[in-house]
Amino acid sequence: MRWVRPLSAEVGETAAVLGGKAHGLVVLRRLGLPVPPGFVITTEACRAFLRDGRLPDGLDAELAAAIADLEAATNRTLGGAERPLAVSVRSGGGVSMPGMMATVLNLGLTAEATAGLAAETGDGRFARDSRERFQTSFAAAVGDEPVPEDAARQLERAVAAVFSSWDTPRARTYRTLQDIAPDLGTAVTVQAMVFGNRDHHSGTGVAFSRNPSTGEPVPFGEVLFGRQGDDVVSGGLLTRPLHELAGREPTVWAHLLDALDRVESHYRDGCHLEFTFEAGELWLLQVRPGRFAGAAAVRVAVDLADEGVISRHGALRRISPQQLGDARTPRIVAADVLARGIGACPGIAVGRVATTADNAARMAADGPVILVRPQTSPLDMHGLAAAAGVLTARGGPASHAAVVARSLRKPAVVGAADLTVLEGSFQAGGHTVPEGTLITIDGTGGEVVLGTSRIATGATNPHLERLLGWADEVSGGNPDRSETERLTAARAVLL
């Protein structure tokens, strides 16, 4: 095949050809871990599409052959009236461009196939829910055009839409800003769907092999029971701490722990997994090594060196001066987190809750205030100016609220999806928190805590001290310099 590769352990090509996502799935396959069967359309096909404005010659035949293989492997039929096959169609370039590229889920659920799925599962609600999700994601990816009732045609349109999404103005701007070459193109991964919304023993989640806030060597993450993959990312639903899997789905939990161990050994780094479980069976959908920041990155590197997984020199090479600086940002040491969002402007703020900008401006005369809003509008600006920090239920790291908080240099947590802001109070984690209540927010890790939290300033970070000790050994330098100078001197020797 020229344009298509199976997602199998034998594929030896790089992430530049397969895209980062498919490359990671091939690694998972090699490690003997469960990955839904599928195939990947290479970045070369994307480059041909972008050059010629149409899918390359021969791709349709290769797609048909790859789908036939997938049907044989799953004993299902794409768009079939009996045992229908549904697939996910996801972008994945050699480098990550979060939120910028198209994704289509449950493709192949034509009206006929949906009826087949309902008959097979005896669950009409599940089948309808799945088809709606397909239609929504297809419309978002392809735009204003009717959804074809022919499954093969759906696939062609979805592949073309993913390829096109590489070249939107927003994606071009993002690449310029992030130093990503403009002509790489994206691959497209097509996999048999696994349904986290299938039944009570199904769900979806994300798992870190180590705590991403602290680096502590304990699996950490979130799980959403009875839901499909993108719900965790998009928020707005009640996610549960990952360890609740242990009690509810012990087999899934055991397999997940095993998978986290194996990917860590392979990558020699802390890792992040996206997973779905369907009817009690675990499937892995994505793996990413690294992605730890600040103090967590320092702790992971030092622990891995202590465990003999990497060398001390390797640990020093992994920590940039920027991460060293971030490791000194004060952090909440939270026993009991009330809510968790996305840290949008680093730092800790402690203050009394105000749920309107007017109240924040008024209450600020008597001491620090945290402005808590569903999201922000320009009408909140005077409240933001008066507040010590801001907490919002919606929005991401690139939202108006995040941009404004950073411009005012106020600690900010955005997108705390489980938080509901009411008049005069907010609800989170089963608590109702009235206006005037003292809370603490951490704009690095996104934690929200009732009252004043214990805070780690980084001043007594034992892992950081040890790393700097190793740096001095390498550089032969003395410790009476700034931390950045100590690290930079060692890295100059090693890099």
Partner 1 sequence: MTPPESPHSTGTDLLVLHALRCVGFAGLARVAAATGLPEPDAESELIDLARAGLVTHLAGTFGGWGLTEAGRAADAERIAEELEASGARAAVAAAYHDFLVLNPELLDLCTAWQLRPAGPAYDARVLDRLTDFDQRAGVVGAALSAALPRFRRYRVRLTGALARARSGALEYVTDSVESYHAVWFQLHEDLLATLGIPRE
Residue placing its CB nearer to partner 1 in the complex, 7 or 349 = 349
Torsion angle, CA of 104/107/222/320, rounded to 10 degrees? -40
- Pick from 65, 233, 279, 379: which binds partner 1 (CB under 8 A)? 379
Residue placing its CB nearer to partner 1 in the complex, 379 or 493 = 379
Residue placing its CB nearer to partner 1 in the complex, 41 or 372 = 372
Indicate whether 388 belongs to the interface with partner 1 (CB under 8 A).
no
Residues 105-134 that bind partner 1 (CB under 8 A): none
- Pick from 262, 400, 466, 481: which binds partner 1 (CB under 8 A)? 400
Indicate whether 413 belongs to the interface with partner 1 (CB under 8 A).
no
Could you tell me where the beta strands, DSSP code E, fall in 129-228? 186-192, 203-208, 220-225
Indicate whether 139 belongs to the interface with partner 1 (CB under 8 A).
no
Minimum distance of partner 1 from residue 101's CB (angstroms) = 13
Q: Can you tell me whether residue 56 is helix, strand or coil?
A: coil
Residues 173-202 that bind partner 1 (CB under 8 A): 173-174, 176-178
Distance CA 451, CA 13 (A): 52
Is there a contact between 278 and 196 (Cβ–Cβ < 8 Å)?
Answer: yes
Indicate whether 320 belongs to the interface with partner 1 (CB under 8 A).
no
- Pick from 9, 81, 333, 403: which binds partner 1 (CB under 8 A)? 403
Distance CA 123, CA 125 (A): 6
Give 429's contacts (C-beta < 8 A, 6+ positions apart).
337, 338, 339, 418
Residue placing its CB nearer to partner 1 in the complex, 124 or 236 = 236
Indicate whether 144 belongs to the interface with partner 1 (CB under 8 A).
no
Indicate whether 254 belongs to the interface with partner 1 (CB under 8 A).
no
Minimum distance of partner 1 from residue 170's CB (angstroms) = 4
DSSP characters for 292-350? --HHHHHHHHHHHHHTTSS-HHHHHHH--HHHHHHHTS-EEE-SS-SEE-EEEE-SEEE
Q: If binding means CB under 8 A, how many residues of this protein chain bind partner 1? A: 33
* Among candidate residues 437, 441, 440, the one with its CA nearest the CA of residue 413: 441
- Contact residues toward partner 1 (CB under 8 A) are 99, 169-170, 173-174, 176-178, 357, 361, 364-365, 374-375, 377-383, 385-386, 394, 397-400, 402-404, 406-407
